[in-house]
Amino acid sequence: MNNPAVLIVMGSDSDLPTMEEAAKVLDEFGVPYEMRISSAHRSPKRTAQLAHEAAGRGVQLVIAAAGMAAHLAGVVAAETTLPVIGVPMGGGALSGIDALYATVQMPGGIPVATMAVGKAGAKNAGIFAVQILSLRDPELTKKLIAYREQMAAEVERKDNELQK
């Protein structure tokens, strides 16, 4: 991807099935993004470089996802002034509670906007990214309003089905 507005970075290819939820949302809203695999622990130098160079490449915000001792979002946030959205991955012996704490408990000064654990968090990361980008893009705001209306209509449709 030449001009991605969003960089999605994940610690392992095992995170990809979850992070595709974020990509699906960005596809739906027509937001260009790039997906990369880079680990805070297994490839620390590459991760730092990726984060450090993101703004210069036109990236406007980063979605960072990792599981277990999930330091990726924090490490990325330390290397860029772009907003960083963190997605803790589920699974593992502690079912994602470890990743949630590691992602959300940032020291004052280096924030990570932490989403829910797993697929709901990945989807919300995509939506939250669109919401941030919509601050300077009225077309995205219109699409977000339509997205909400469609969601509400879907709940109504399901309720109507239930009443039959």
Binding residues for substrate: 12, 15, 42
Name which of 10 and 61 has its Cβ closer to ligand RP5: 10
Distance separating alpha carbons of residues 49 and 105, to the nearest angstrom: 23
Rank residues 55 and 104 by Cβ distance to ligand RP5 and give the closer one. 104
- Residue from 5, 8, 9, 11 touching ligand RP5 (CB under 6 A): that is 11
Q: Note the maximum CA span of the chain.
A: 59
Tokens of residue 157, six digits? 């449709």
Q: Is 68 in the site for ligand RP5 (CB under 6 A)?
A: yes
Three-class SS string for 100-146?
A: HHHHHCCCCCCCCEECCCCHHHHHHHHHHHHHHHHCCCHHHHHHHHH
CB of 12 to ligand RP5, least distance (A): 3
**Counting contacts by CB under 6 A, is residue 49 touching ligand RP5?**
no
Six-digit token string for 96: 């994602």
43 touches ligand RP5 by CB under 6 A = no
CB of 59 or CB of 68, closer to ligand RP5: 68
DSSP letter (8 states) at residue 160: H
Q: 106 or 130: whose CB is closer to ligand RP5?
A: 106
Q: How far is the CB of 151 from ligand RP5 (least distance, A)?
A: 29
For 138, residues 6+ apart whose C-beta sits below 8 A from its C-beta are: none
Q: Which of 66, 85, 102, 112 binds ligand RP5 (CB under 6 A)?
A: 66
Of 11 and 86, CB closest to ligand RP5: 11
DSSP classification of residue 14 = G
Residue reference for tokens 């995205």: 140
> What is the contact surface with ligand RP5 in residues (CB under 6 A)?
10-12, 14-15, 39, 66-68, 89
